[in-house]
Amino acid sequence: MFQFCISYFQNNQIFTVETKAGINNIINYCRPAFELIKDDLKQTQLHHLKYNPFFKEYKEAIKIGNYILKQFAYNISATSANKIETPPFWIDMPRLFELFFYQKLLKANNFDRKKIQYQFSTFGNSLDFLINDGENSMVIDTKYKLHYKQSHIHSDIRQVAGYARLRKVRNDLGLNVESDEIIKCLIIYPEIALEKDFNYSLEFLSKICGNPENEIKAYHKVYKLGIKLPLI
């Protein structure tokens, strides 16, 4: 990994004179520590690097090193390329989509974090969003799946419905043990063909959860809403 970093530094012209001087000082400082370390590892070994639990401080360094090796596809000659192809599956799109919707949700509701709980956790479960807004309360789950445009996925719905039955969730929404009220569930999915974006206020989402057109017909009080993705 040290050799990859040196090769990238030496083969690219993006660094200023001042930056080069500083990086050279760091390289020269680190070089003696690597003199007795072999650099003839096979690619299969690079794919399965592990840290020794006796040296826990190396864990983060190995993690970052793996990112560097993946960036260059474990090929040191790639460090001289001006452009590097990055496969899209390296990006955690479900997570990115979740945060994309979260930003819209906060902005549309004046950043009211009292009503909008992100990553509500209980008993090993983690809900994307729990909306605590009286009669308009709901569980929201984001799914980065275009499949929802025409259909639905039963396992996803069982998951979000299970969240709505958690006692901690019901207690947080002010429902007592004797209450038979069913919490509304909303699945947010990406849609490319929408003509306009929405204002994702809690009032708007509540109307979505009362609209039969948005209800997933096979289930009771489970709704879906496609949101527009930005196009470049």
Tokens of 85: 């192809």
Structure confidence at residue 83 (pLDDT)? 61
Contacts of 82 (CB under 8 A, 6+ apart): 12
Number of other CB atoms surrounding residue 104 within 10 Å: 17
Domain boundary among 31, 65, 88: 88
If asked whether residues 164 and 103 sit together in one domain, one would say: yes
Per-residue pLDDT at 85: 61
Domain range enclosing 6: 2-88
**DSSP helix/strand/coil, 124:** coil
Identity of residue 47: H
Lowest mean pLDDT among 41-50, 75-84, 183-192, 217-226: 75-84
Dist CA 67 CA 197 (whole Å): 35
Share the mean pLDDT of the chain. Answer: 83
pLDDT tens-digit readout, 204-220? 999 999 899 999 999 99
Same domain, 47 and 97: no
Integer CA distances (angstroms), 167 to 146, 155, 164, 176, in order: 31, 21, 8, 9
Q: What is the pLDDT of residue 225?
A: 93
Q: Based on the structure, what is the number of domains in the chain?
A: 2
82 plus 117 within the same structural domain = no
User: In terms of domains, do 83 and 149 share one?
Assistant: no
Do 36 and 71 sit in the same domain of this protein?
A: yes
Tell me if residue 215 falls in helix, strand or coil.
strand
CA distance 230 to 232: 7
Q: Kindly give the interhelix angle for 2-11 and 59-71, rounded to the nearest 10 degrees.
A: 40
User: How, if at all, do strands 125-131 and 116-122 pair?
Assistant: antiparallel
> Which of 70, 88, 106 is a domain's end point?
88
Which of 68, 88, 108 is the endpoint of a domain? 88
In this structure, the answer to whether residues 129 and 40 fall within a common structural domain is no
